[in-house]
Amino acid sequence: MPTLSVVVPFYNVAPYFPELLESLATQELADLEVVLVDDGSTDNSPQIASSWVAKDKRFRLITQPNRGLSAARNAGAAQATGTYLAFADSDDVVPPTAYRALVQSLESTGSDFASGDVRRLNSSGTHRHPRYADVFAAPRRSTHITRDRDLILDRMIWNKVFRRSFWDHHQFAFTLRQYEDAPVTVRAHIEARAMDVVGQVVYHWRIRETGERSITQRLYEPDNIAARMRMMVVTGDLVRERAPELLPVYERDMCLGDLRIATLAMLENTDEAMAAALELGRGFLSQVDEHVLDQLPEPNRHRLSLLLTGRSDELREALSADGQ
């Protein structure tokens, strides 16, 4: 039984895949297995994966027809055998000390999972992500999201190591086809007895500069916005059911984050193209506590009011006037 299993779904990522696999093979925590899940790739990514399986016994490959990232992650997790469980995306890079630091923290504290800081990665190097600067500014051991509520921002799956017994006990699984991390990670935060924040960078999140852009780089496409809104609603329902005391901080983050992106997308798309996203966004916004809305900066509050009441032309005018 390896100490750690790392599940890596992949689909048509040949330009970036070797760098991720090399970063896993050279982890300071050497007692690991890497479960590669081919989600129906049509490029030479499977050949890249097979070459690593042939030369490193810690790597193994499973294949499936293209069913999406959630299904691929679930399939990999089902095959993983490690005491601890992690997920990595196939176009990113894991720093060499990352998994050692995360596992050592869990071994020391007995927490259910550990999380760490993130950097954006492109051809010029790595760059601090301003959204997460405060969340990961200092290590925190044996904490919980209900005490450190800024952890509501920590909704990524790939900067974490989970205790496998915790994962199995709560039967975590990915369900959304896109933006699938948040419902799982927010629920993990809520269900955990305790979690750790380690004081170092554990993941390099790539900005693709060639080939197909990642979903997070296609911000204003209508289908992308609809997927964001669906994630927002599903995660909000989970918070409302399991930890309603977190709703104000979650709703505020959505108003300043995903809903702000949805309003900006109105500049590039018609109401008809945005219909699915608007229905989901307005449904969520209609339930946001008035006190949360009252405490938003005035421009955000005004735009969200226009969005909620369907005054799309006025919203576009306001965005244009504000130089958005």
For residue 97, list its beta bridge partners: none
Residues 106-126: pLDDT tens digits?
Answer: 999 999 999 999 999 988 888
Helix axes of 258-265 and 247-256: crossing angle, nearest 10 degrees: 30
Q: What is the number of other CB atoms lying within 10 angstroms of the CB of residue 257?
A: 14
End-to-end CA distance of the chain: 53
DSSP H/E element including 260: helix 258-265
pLDDT at 216 over 70: no
Mean pLDDT, residues 238-251 taken together:
97
Which position has the token pair 């896109």? 178
- Single-letter amino acid code for the residue at 156: M
What confidence score (pLDDT) does residue 210 get? 66
What value does the mean pLDDT take over residues 87-92? 97
Contact 218/266 with Cβ under 8 angstroms?
no
For tokens 């296609």, name the residue.
Answer: 218
Looking at residue 208, its pLDDT comes to 79
Distance between CA 122 and CA 131 in Å, rounded?
17
Q: What is the mean pLDDT of the chain?
A: 94
Q: Is 310 left (phi over 0), alpha (psi -120 to 50) or beta?
A: left
Global confidence as pTM: 0.94
